[in-house]
Amino acid sequence: MDYKKYIRDLYEKCKNLILKPEIFFIEKGGSEDGKLFSSFLVPLIVFMGVGVFLGEFFSGSKFLFSYALMKTLRIIVYYLLVYYMEIWALGGLLKSHEGTQEKNPLCLVVVSSLVPPVLASFITGLFPGLYVFGILGLYGFYLFFVGAKTCLKIPEKNQFRYILLSILLILLITGVVYSFSWKLLKFYEG
């Protein structure tokens, strides 16, 4: 496997998604096979995990390998749980709003909406002093909005309500999973 080409393609996908989301969603639409999660989001989550681990390594006065490892695992598991919980919850909400019943468009929208928070977590994990850049993760809500309007084929009368309820569900899911994972890390810490 040519890793340089793979990383370049991953970079191009991220750049196109962030800079031209409308075009990205029109091009990808529902045409992605079910491997978007494993070929796009998982490598970004691993990349972010490495950044968090290195940030813990260089930021502390003394390095605690087990704490850095637990913090890295916590954030990786956090994003994986958020992804699966959002697919489950938003899929059920999509059925009730008469949207598309295909799974691939929903996966595309959810994966795309998680890219900005993952990249923001990389920055704040690698450089903890730049935690203010975590606000960049909010761009994921805009990507969700654009992706839902473009890919999910929701009737016009239900679109706004679906998007609003989805954003509230996303906030609830991320808040609950984050606080639960943070409590586990604090429990481990002692």
- Helix segments in 64-155, DSSP class H: 65-96, 103-126, 139-151
Burial class (CB in 10 A: 0-12, 13-18, 19+), 133: middle
What residues contact 170, with CB distance under 8 A and at least 6 apart?
86, 90, 113, 141, 144
Cβ neighbours, 10 Å, residue 57: 13
Q: What does DSSP assign to residue 101?
A: -
Q: What does DSSP assign to residue 39?
A: I
- The pLDDT tens digits of the residues spanning 104-155 come to 889 999 999 999 999 999 999 999 888 888 899 999 999 999 999 999 889 9
- The pLDDT tens digits of the residues spanning 30-73 come to 555 567 788 889 999 999 999 999 988 777 666 677 778 888 89
> How many percent of the chain have pLDDT more than 70?
93
Rounded-to-integer distance, Cα 42 and Cα 47, Å:
8
- Where do the domains of the chain lie? 34-189
- Residue 69 is predicted with a pLDDT of 87
pTM (2 d.p.)? 0.89
Q: Given 3-state DSSP classes, what are the helix, strand and coil percentages for the chain, each rounded to the nearest 5?
A: 85, 0, 15
What is the sign, positive or negative, of the torsion defined by CA atoms of 171, 72, 57, 50?
Answer: negative
